[in-house]
Every structure is written in structure tokens, then in C-alpha cells.
Chain A
Amino acid sequence: VPSGIQAAQGDEVMDVRSQEPELRALILAGLDGDLAAHKILLARLSVYLRAYFRGQLARIGRGPADAEDLLQETLIALHTRRHTYDRSQPLTPWVYAIARYRLVGEAATRSGMSVHRGLKALSPRRQGSGA
């Protein structure tokens, strides 16, 4: 296991926003072609994203295996679409916008809902009444 992944497991409880400057430095290095930085970034983000997907999916009665699938899809999206990150902007909103898009798409596909309704079912206000 690479050291970056081990390090990331430790600060699982910390708020991702407090990590913003470090994570941002990692993606900027990755965009310039730094392989190690890119790998550490994906490993560290996967810790936060795993917690995010598990929490969100639990609300619609789905387990950690589904969360892991979504996490992997999101990591692939973060990697293949990394050119859509605007270097002048904070990283966290970009990451979570991608994660949320994957989550809503997933919820919509599995239950046959439209993406719009999927969003509503997942929004906190509609919790319990949706799906």
C-alpha cells in the first residue's frame, strides 16, 4: 500500500475543507504531470468520497459495496476530466460537484427516475418522501 493512502486513512475524520490548500497543491502538481502528487490526491480524496457516498447511499437504503462502485466511477471521472478543474478556483467544490453528479446519475438509473427527480429524492428536504 502506498504511503499516501496510509496517511489518508488517518485523517478520515477531519473536514475535507481544512485540507483544501494541501489538496489543491496536489492537483496543481498533478496537472503539471507530477505522477506521485496525482496518486496521493486520488488516495486522499477517496477517503472523503467513500464517507460521503456511504452516508448518502445509506439514506436510500444502499450498502457500502454500492458506495465503493460509485467511488471508483468518481475517481475515474476526476482523473479523465481533470482538465475541467479551473486552477484559480478552490478544489473541494469541483470534486464534490463531480461526486454529486455521479451520485444523482446512479440514483436515477437504478430506480428508473429522471435525473431531476433523482436530485430531489436525494436532497435533504425531501428525505423520506422521495424514491
Chain B
Amino acid sequence: MKTDELIGLLATNLEPVKAGRLRNTFLIALVAGATAAFCVMVAIFGVSGDALGGEHFGLRIVALAFTLGLVGAGASFLLRAARPGEPGRKPVMIVCLLFLAILSAGIAALLFAHPTGWRGMIFGPQWTACLICIPLFGIAPFALLIWALRKGAPTNLARTGAIAGLVAGALGAAIFTLHYPVSSLPFIALWFGGPIALCALAGAILGPRLLRW
């Protein structure tokens, strides 16, 4: 077909485009992802009475701030990365700063504590639960974010996939803090930060396959 004919064909039926369409798709993906992750948690652990109360209230707030900060920065990156072109560096910088902040806080907490307590601070009561549950809770949000991204037109698939994995993992971790009694800063850095980073890695590997258009 000649290009002029193609242009004529493309311009025969034109639906007006609503301005906030892509943004709404992402909002739906995030809300539905968080809901799905919450349902998975309730299905596994049941409803716990002390959602955000109980012991170590301050540490739970830190874990929640860290993970929701990652979700916020990552989601703003994804909204831009869903459009062809350069998404800008600011959200990625914020993500790096959040990781840096939680790592330094974790190291500082270890330095202030007696070395005999280090083992308990680092491994906490159940580090394996974090390692399993955070990626598990992140699966549904990841699938929904990929769905939203496929409605757009991302051009850097590995990087976009990585941030989608990061947001999904961070959302899963945020939901997990509602159930899990976080007991120290190094624990948050290692067993929340680590699994979230693993989710980002998985996203980077899957991105080019799932996001191609």
C-alpha cells in the first residue's frame, strides 16, 4: 500500500482522546493491585487486630514511609515511561535516595547497638517471611502495572520493567507492614529493601518480553 493511501485510511475514523486516560489507567492498576495484595495477605494470615498499632509503632511507620515513598516515586516514573520519550531522572533519584536513607539508618542503628544484639536486629523474628511474602504480594500489582503500561507505549522496556517490578514489590511490602511486626531499622533495610530490589530485577528481565509493541 502506498503511504498516502495509508494516511487516508488512518484518518477516516477519529475518536477524540480524553486527556487523563493514561493517568486513570495507572490509578486503576495501583488501587486494584493494592487491593489484590491485601486480599492475598488476608487469605494467608487472616485479619490481624493491630493493623498499625501494637509494638514498634514507629518502625512500622518508617517501613510504611519507605515503601510508599518508593511506590509514589516509581509510579510517577511509570506514568512518564508509558509515553514515548525520555521520562526524566528525578523519580529514579528519589528511589535511590530512599534506599540510601534506609541503608544508612540501618547501619547507624547497628553502630549504636551492642554487637551482641546485631544478629537479632538483622535477622529479626522471621526474615524468610519477608523474602517470600513481598514478591508474592507483588505479583498481582506487577501484572496490573504491566497491563497499564501496555496501554501506553514505553520505549525503554528493561528500565520500565524494572521500575514496574520495584513499584509492585514496594506495594506488596507496604501491605505486608500492616501484618508484620517490624523490629529494627537494619531489618527494614535488608528484608524489605532486598526483596523489593529483587522484584525490580525480575521486572527488568521480564520487561522487554512483556512490554514489546
Q: Which residues of A contact B (CB under 8 A)?
A: 1-2, 5, 30-35, 38-39, 42-43, 46, 50, 68, 71-72, 75-77, 79, 81-87, 89, 93-94, 97-98, 100-101, 105, 115-116
Number of interface residues of B (CB under 8 A): 29
Nearest 8 CB-CB pairs, A to B? A97-B84, A33-B16, A39-B11, A97-B85, A81-B153, A79-B10, A101-B155, A83-B17
A42-B11, A75-B7 provided; 11 other pairs, C-beta below 8 A? A32-B16, A33-B16, A38-B14, A39-B10, A77-B153, A77-B213, A81-B84, A82-B17, A84-B84, A98-B153, A101-B155
Instruction: Establish whether residues A42 and B7, one from each chain, have CB atoms under 8 Å apart when the complex forms.
Output: yes
Smallest Cβ distance from B18 to chain A, in angstroms?
8
Instruction: Establish whether residues A84 and B11, one from each chain, have CB atoms under 8 Å apart when the complex forms.
Output: no
Instruction: Establish whether residues A72 and B84, one from each chain, have CB atoms under 8 Å apart when the complex forms.
Output: no
Q: Which residues of B contact A (CB under 8 A)?
A: 1, 3-4, 6-8, 10-12, 14-17, 19, 21-22, 82-86, 152-153, 155, 157-158, 208, 212-213
A32-B16, A33-B14 given as contacts; is B21 within 8 A of A115 (CB)?
no
Instruction: Establish whether residues A30 and B14, one from each chain, have CB atoms under 8 Å apart when the complex forms.
Output: yes
- Provide a sorted-by-A list of 10 A–B residue pairs whose CB atoms are within 8 angstroms: A1-B4, A43-B4, A43-B7, A46-B3, A72-B6, A84-B82, A84-B152, A93-B85, A97-B84, A115-B208
In the complex, what residues of B have CB within 8 A of residue A77's CB?
153, 213
Smallest Cβ distance from B84 to chain A, in angstroms?
4
In the complex, what residues of B have CB within 8 A of residue A93's CB?
85-86
In the complex, what residues of A have CB within 8 A of residue B212's CB?
105
In the assembled complex, the Cα of A79 lies from the Cα of B15 at a distance in Å of 11
In the complex, what residues of B have CB within 8 A of residue A68's CB?
3
Smallest Cβ distance from A103 to chain B, in angstroms?
11
A46-B3, A75-B3 given as contacts; is B157 within 8 A of A87 (CB)?
no
A31-B16, A39-B11, A87-B19 given as contacts; is B3 within 8 A of A71 (CB)?
yes
Q: Which B-chain residue is minimally distant from A34 (CB atoms)?
A: B14
